[in-house]
Amino acid sequence: MDTDHALSAFAALAQPTRLDVFRLLVAHEPQGLAAGEIARRLDVPHNTLSTHFGILARAGLIVAERQSRLIIYRAQLEAVRHLASFILKDCCGGKPEICAPLIADLQPCCSGGTQPADAYDAQGNSTKEACDVA
């Protein structure tokens, strides 16, 4: 990932509704969510949400797929991986022990320790910690 792509992704996520949409979609991988369901859960008008979907899609963070009469949106987890790698590429000046707490915090999320979809309130905000880190 280059700087321009990273800036595009961060700009797309630097708005509360778009961040809520993206987090909700990440929580519902791999099946994704229908546009109407996202609008209902986040209490956002469909036309407003459409604009946010476009911005997130242009940033490469989500994709849409038509399934019969529904449009299902999914997070692009590969984009998340690239973004995290871009940020952490030069982490800790080559001293992995400094990065160890960060990696430990991420490990439960990446190994099935994420919260269930119902751990989000109507605005899509987590009602629990993002991951159960022991």
Please give the pLDDT value at position 112.
Answer: 57
How much is the average pLDDT of 52-73?
Answer: 97
What's the mean pLDDT in 97-102?
77
Instruction: State the Cα–Cα distance between residues 58 and 38, nearest whole angstrom.
Output: 19
Domains of the chain: 3-119 (1.10.10.10)
pTM of the model: 0.74
Percent of the residues in the chain that have a pLDDT greater than 70, as a whole number? 79
Sheet holding 70-75, edge to edge: 33-34, 70-75, 62-67
Arithmetic mean of pLDDT, 21-38: 96
Task: Give the pLDDT mean for 13-19.
Answer: 97
Q: What is the dihedral of CA 60, 35, 77, 26, to 10 degrees?
A: 130
Looking at the predicted structure, is the pLDDT value of residue 11 above 60?
A: yes
Which CA distances in Å does 20 have to 52, 53, 78, 92, 102? 10, 11, 19, 29, 23
Split at pLDDT 50, 70, 90, the class of 128 is very low
Distance, CA of 5 to CA of 8 (rounded, Å): 5
